[in-house]
Amino acid sequence: MSLKEHFHRLKKKMRPKTYVDKIVDKAIHLNADSKKVIVFPETDVIILKACSAILKRKIAIPLIIGKKAELDVTLDRLRIRNLSDPYILDHLDEKNKAQFESFVTEFYDMRKKDGKEISLDEARVLISKPQYYGAMLVYKSVADGMISGINSETKPYNPAFQIIKTKSGVPKASGMMIMEREHELLFFADIALNINPTAEELAAIALTSATTVSELGTEPKIAMLSFSTRDSAKHEMVEKVKLATKLAKEKSPELIIDGEIQLDAAIVPEVALKKCKDSVLHGKANVLIFPDLNSGNIGYKLVQRLGGFKALGPIMQGLNKPINDLSRGASVEDVVELAAITVLQMQQ
Ligand SMILES: CC(C)(COP(=O)(O)OP(=O)(O)OC[C@H]1O[C@@H](n2cnc3c(N)ncnc32)[C@H](O)[C@@H]1OP(=O)(O)O)[C@@H](O)C(=O)NCCC(=O)NCCS
């Protein structure tokens, strides 16, 4: 280890643990109890370096889908020594033909059951894509989760929606971002998937977010955001948020949730006193549910870029098993942290 590396590690050890550090610790603990396998259907340098760190730090067991001979050359060039045979799966290798063909048939049957007419050849083309094959490995419980999407061609959405599917009672998967700045912690949803959710879908996003936040070890206090608080404005967009709040409350009466509510009334106690004295949130919401993808996606980027918060995610939520999407600009540390979150999602 170089002197620079040594001091970097020492500095990291000495600073107080962040929320993300604690997530990593929990993942290590869970992985020690029973090994958690995460499929990586991409072989970019960032992914390989992250997989090496994930294995070294005992966060999970990576399973990389790729051509072994090519990967061996790259790993050698990168001087990565801990990702040998058992961590690499060449899904198109002749030796793997039986499993490949069984996945093709199973996927074909699955699509047929879902009312989608595809041919066996079309199923074969899809299953030959590593992100589809990876989702089948998760579906068949060979692996426990998957992380993909550092490239636009390997985004995991369709394999996740078509193979893993949403949990019963969850109409749509959604995306959550963890926002952290020193001791401040907020969860934003949906910032990734649903462009203009209906009131029913918005209610489901709130309920699914409550589950994710609880799984990560925090009590959710949910604000259903709008440009109106307690009927201060009248518009169909406000009505949608009001209805979504009512539906979420009906489904989960024990939840701490309020809406429709403006952002300031949701997170600033003094403003809450003025605008909604009776709010169960008391201006201390930690889960912000945005009315549509415009506000959600723009909102988290404002907080990240102008507010100096670290954005971690997006976490794909509402699926039967954890499949997560990587931002195309993800760093090695981003991948490692998302792997830890993926392990925590396996507790369901
Ligand atoms: C997520 C997204 C890519 C899906 O688009 P799509 O592939 O055109 O979706 P389709 O409507 O054709 O649906 C494809 C399948 O996925 C399913 N699906 C789509 N969105 C889903 C969701 N949020 N949750 C679960 N399933 C979903 C559909 O039911 C459909 O299933 P089927 O093939 O069994 O019928 C699309 O909603 C989108 O572009 N969202 C915005 C993403 C974005 O730009 N985010 C901002 C940057 S992160």
DSSP letters of 173-184? Answer: -EEEEEEEETTE
The one-letter amino acid at 326: L
Q: Which pLDDT tens digit goes with each residue over 204-261?
A: 999 999 999 998 889 999 999 999 999 999 999 999 999 999 999 999 999 999 999 9
Rounded to two decimals, the pTM is: 0.90
Q: Are strands 310-317 and 174-181 parallel, antiparallel or unpaired?
A: antiparallel
**Closest Cα to atom 32, ligand 1: which residue?**
162
Residue 204 in contact with ligand 1 by CB distance below 6 A: no
Name the residue of 122, 158, 298 whose CB sits within 8 Å of the most ligand 1 atoms, as the mutation to test its pocket. 158
Residue 194 in contact with ligand 1 by CB distance below 6 A: yes
Cα-to-centroid distance, 222 and ligand 1 (Å): 25
Q: C-alpha dihedral over 251, 341, 304, 317, to 10 degrees?
A: -30
Cα-to-centroid distance, 35 and ligand 1 (Å): 31
Q: Which pLDDT tens digit goes with each residue over 255-292?
A: 999 999 999 999 999 999 999 999 999 999 999 999 99
Q: Give the nearest ligand 1 atom to 175 CA.
A: 48
Give percent of the chain above pLDDT 90: 89
Cα–Cα distance measured from residue 304 to residue 347, given in angstroms and rounded to the nearest whole number: 29
Cα-to-centroid distance, 227 and ligand 1 (Å): 27
Cα-to-centroid distance, 158 and ligand 1 (Å): 7
Q: Which of 84, 76, 104 is nearest to 163 (CA)?
A: 104
Phi, psi angles (nearest 5°) of residue 229: -125, 125
Cα–Cα distance measured from residue 253 to residue 317, given in angstroms and rounded to the nearest whole number: 21
Residue 320 in contact with ligand 1 by CB distance below 6 A: no
What is the predicted pLDDT for the residue at 13? Answer: 65
Reported confidence tier of residue 124, pLDDT bands at 50, 70, 90:
very high
Residue 326 in contact with ligand 1 by CB distance below 6 A: no
User: What does each C-alpha distance from 281 to 14, 206, 273 come to in angstroms?
Assistant: 35, 15, 11
What is the predicted pLDDT for the residue at 321? Answer: 97
Cα-to-centroid distance, 137 and ligand 1 (Å): 21
**Closest Cα to atom 36, ligand 1: which residue?**
193
pLDDT at residue 11 greater than cutoff 70: no
Q: Give the nearest ligand 1 atom to 166 CA.
A: 25
Cα-to-centroid distance, 281 and ligand 1 (Å): 32
Angle at 172 between CA 231 and CA 125, to 5 degrees: 155
Name the residue of 108, 157, 294 whose CB sits within 8 Å of the most ligand 1 atoms, as the mutation to test its pocket. 157
